Amino acid sequence: MRRLLVFQHVPHEILGTLDPLLRRAGFRIRYVNFGRQPDARPDLARYHGLIVLGGPMNCDQVNRHRHLATEIELIEQALVAGKPVLGICLGAQLLARALGAPVTRNGVPEIGWYDVEPTPAAAVDPLFRHFAPRQRIFQWHGDTFAIPRDAVHLARSPDCENQAFRWGDIAYGLQFHLEVDSAMIERWLHTPVNQNDLERLAGTIDPARISAETPLAIDEATRLAERVFGDFIRLFSLRHRHVALPSR
């Protein structure tokens, strides 16, 4: 049985629609919740791949969240070992940082449903070939990553140029949340830490509008997620070689 390690930061950010896809593919999934176990240091040798989920912290808050440094180190180990890695939101930022790219504040926060456009390179990408010229995808972030050296830029939005990248043939960073379902979105809108964001951004982000848009956008987003994540899962059936990370 294939074993997958998942880095979690807060209880409400989970695998979502990825979970049943992985279980149907025969994966045994182990969550490491760094919010509860900040000193955890799992042994990557026991796992065939890594998924790093989102969270409200940012990459520079190592003094408050010391596990972030551990995560970057473990991501580096996974990449060198040729193990597939998927980073989502904060996870994508940590992946970018592990590859030597800066992570900074985005010009404006993106919270809710936004149009995401594939780059020309996406047309021949194993995962992003499924994207239409414009996709409505859920977002919740205030930071953004630069595209790491030797990585392929795969998607952008009007307010955030770097929405996704691929490094080599084993690692993907997604700034957006393709894994969400309707229940997750409603939970996020009512989670205290997220409500703090919404209160701070009152007048620019409207939770009622997000709730109203979700039934209109979620079905197409879910179909896209099934195709994209299905092809990510197929990466585990390929043989990957050990690689060297870019010098910093």
Residue 246 located in a structural domain: no
Mean pLDDT of 121-142: 97
Asked if the model's pLDDT at residue 7 lies above 80, the reply is yes
Residue 206's CATH number? 3.40.50.880
Mean pLDDT of 51-68: 92
Task: Provide the domain count of the chain.
Answer: 1
Query: Is pTM, for the whole model, over 0.75?
Result: yes
Asked if the model's pLDDT at residue 235 lies above 80, the reply is yes
Longest dimension (CA), the chain: 50
Q: Which structural domain range is residue 42 located in?
A: 2-237
Asked if the model's pLDDT at residue 12 lies above 70, the reply is yes
Residue 88 located in a structural domain: yes
Question: Strand runs (DSSP E) across the chain, as ranges?
Answer: 2-8, 27-33, 49-52, 85-88, 103-118, 135-145, 151-157, 160-167, 171-174
pLDDT value at residue 246: 75
Mean pLDDT of 102-111: 96
